[in-house]
Amino acid sequence: MHAFFEATNHYFEHAASILGLSENMKVLLATPERELRVEVAIEMDSGQIGNFIGYRVQHDNARGPFKGGLRYHPTVDEDEARSLASLMTWKTAVVDLPYGGGKGGVNCDVTKLSRAELERITRRFVQQIHDFIGPDKDIPAPDVGTDAQVMAWIMNEYGKYHGHQPAVVTGKPVELHGSLGRESATGHGVAIIAREFLQHTWNRPVEGTTVAVQGFGNVGSFTSRELYDMGAKIVAVSDAYGGVCNPEGLDIPSLQQHVAAHRKVVGFSGGDSCTNEHLLGMEVDVLIPAALGGVFDAELAEEVQARAIIEAANSPTWPEADEVFHRREIPVVPDIVANAGGVIVSYFEWVQNLQHFRWSIDQIRAEQDRRHVESFAAVFDLARRQGVSLRTAAFVLGIQRVGRAKVLAGI
């Protein structure tokens, strides 16, 4: 069994050793500041009592309030929350946002819950953690299994205890103090990072680049559509039910319509059926894992035929697989660089809420793209100067910024 937090700390330790951090500083930076584990008990539609467990791990707030998503999924546990909270600390630092890192969620299966049950779980969870979140404490956001509606319920329930404060959570509906561009932010960011990677690494445009995308949820679908609009050839996509491929390129707008109607990519007439395993081993220029974490182990890493990997998902690569990719000279753009678009636009939403002023979509897109371009360039340049991987460079940059904030503030 792999442990996500252990894997994240493996990357942290490697970067910390390059920086020459003392053992005391490494422990200080790696240890979560607070961990919450709460019972979320509700009455189910059947009249039975449903008992769920909720988590919120607050990893570091040296640079600002804790920030990170809430995940509703059967895999949610302390280990996953610790890992993802830690990654948020380094991610917000890499893209230079005034945040720390947090993460959490509820261990439940949203596919087996009614809308009313989902709302009751959300409100009960907020009742358990409301004293520990807030616009200047910890700001949750959507993640796997949650969406703008869930964020609206959180804002409303939090307001019952603390008054109307939209900035307590991001990813809200636009009609309820949300931000334009938030829903597509992560996928848009992955596409921009892909463009920057291709230009910096191979000096080639997106147009004509072959891409395979594992996962066609919010992140994968928006990533596919943006790259398609840039001229990339999306030759395969997959979801939890299977995949579809076409060596001539899939018609992504038509595929999106198919998924909207059927809730899955399987059965799309514009390509042949394929498995997730086939997709991950295809010969493409860029492979984008955009589903859950823990996709690549050492064995699968040996089978990958893509020229590069861009991590749209959180923690898709185990350390032993990362070593295989490094040995095989397959560059990997890490999650804390590639999928930061969501937290970037969440920051814009938070700022808009605090200002009581709405930005235009053009302003949001311009500022988001600038941050992606600058953060990738900083990581790429550091990797070249130090002769390390993009992942190591990203961790070095993030740890430097968080560590500096810790030292300046004092204990």
Catalytic residues: 103
Please name which of 61, 60, 43 lies closest in space to residue 52, comparing C-alpha atoms: 43
Determine how β-strand 49-60 pairs with β-strand 272-274. unpaired
**What is the CB neighbour count within 10 angstroms for residue 250?**
24
Q: How far apart are CA 174 and CA 215, in angstroms?
A: 25
| 239 residue type, one letter | D
Beta carbons within 8 Å of 184's beta carbon, 6+ residues apart = 222, 226
**8 A C-beta contact, residue 36 and residue 125:** no
- CA geometry: angle 169, 39, 219, nearest 5 deg: 40
Q: How far apart are CA 204 and CA 217, in angstroms?
A: 28
Beta carbons within 8 Å of 239's beta carbon, 6+ residues apart = 215, 216, 217, 220, 259, 264, 265, 266, 291
Please name which of 301, 295, 300, 307 lies closest in space to residue 210, comparing C-alpha atoms: 307
Q: How far apart are CA 327 and CA 39, in angstroms?
A: 45
Question: Please, what's the largest Cα pairwise distance for the chain?
Answer: 62
**8 A C-beta contact, residue 18 and residue 109:** no
CA-derived radius of gyration, the chain: 20
| 385 residue type, one letter | R
Across 79-102, b (16+ Cβ under 10 Å) vs e yields bbbbbbbbbbbbbbbbbbbebbbb
At residue 172, φ and ψ (nearest 5 deg) are -75, 165
Give the Å distances, CA to CA, from 184 to 162, 191, 278, 330.
Answer: 30, 11, 27, 28
